[in-house]
Chain A
């Protein structure tokens, strides 16, 4: 009897506090946001830059939590820790869409706002996705090639890991865009495991097997640099500029390839924008000012010789 009485009293005392907590926005300096990249690579350094600046601007506490490897389980552990620490918001670029579904649901149930950026886990119950819609980016790439070739010729696709869903979505986008150009024929699609040495071998074999090749799509980040290296050799020197090359991501060697005329265009994603938007939307959701979030396509910038020095991410 007595214990029931006490718990009732606790409930009565707590109720007004709960109501107040829901209605009143938290002080900005008490809000803790954690951002989790896939792994430590330059792309995510740019995300960190954008996210950190936005967090400073809004005056919220900011954590950048980098997984030691790309296994799905590592990110699961990180999120579990963040739930235990009672952070207010989590933005994550997912390594393994399936493996984090359960733990993201747990976080959401614990009252934490979660969104994904760059790489999504669509069925996890996250509030929104901010990043490149890869199929749309592939479409932009296909369209650029269509124009560069004047709508005619043999092309090949050089990808990274065959199983990577973002790369496969880009390829789907390329194919859809090329439907408009019936005289452009995709003669080969090759994987490289994102290894520069393997990619160079594959490119050489492609040029030999398809002497009439007019265009190459470098769908993953090794594509551009590998083709540039092959075109720089004496054997394939006559193909420089004659074979149109479009690549993804502005790694130093890819940018150099554009400067030297081996690569005609790079699809550059906008990681700084992704980081900035991720923090902005998390804080809005925590404060209750954003109640019905929608996915955001940050898009790609097509970087070529004309805007090489001036593009922003």
Chain B
């Protein structure tokens, strides 16, 4: 149980001009599950490894429970890590894998066996204790990797894309089990993933990174409803938000293909002083609807998922073709080639020429 703090932590790889992680500042509370999410190369894994002590920290500091661990080697940080490829010791049985760290600490065999059994019980691994990793399925190996981490009762759990190697169905199932386990154990956890759905469903808070720079750290709800910049807006939410470039012009109105987009009062007010230049309007597919009024266009593609459908509508905006994705509830009779209208039913997000959110 511990608090974790990144304080202006940076890592720049030798020979590289840009830092992999640039002055990262995050405070993580005791027992919190914080997700680091971002595209490839965003620095999320690097940040995790900096916390683990597997990456050198070039400047700034990292604290675990107010103790500066920046210069401590991994074994002195009282952390446990679950790797993407599980990193199970192939020559050892499951029980030996899980007991390895305890053995290094000099814990006597009886005690070790007890702790291993307890962890195995929590993860349903008891029947496999004497097997070697090569005789386990992917899902079982993943649980052994988890077991290896929880058996140590560390201060912090570090997880580097632990579910990425599972097939889709198992991934969804394990996701909930993992979140549940973390809540029960109450251990502070830092979790890295590239999958924003995973991030939003699991994290108490989510930190979005891009090119080594922290974009926003908030609860999933706030990330969804109040993305701080264009990048976060386009990254969070599935399917992605429609992002449309518009110049507000003299009258400070935003028109998408002739439709004057309705804005919340504080947004419209902020828009008046947001300066010249191209702004971006963000409209989520689930905040629009197909009907008889709104932007006119022609249906290009219809995706039927049974519980919902996604309709891609071609229209013209500022002389250029524009494709808008709209969500429809349940199954739809709309077909490719139909002429439809798209109306805006929910909040419109606006981002200024610098990509930052306009209005609060």
Co-assembled chains A and B: no
Chain A residues within 8 Å of B, Cβ to Cβ = none
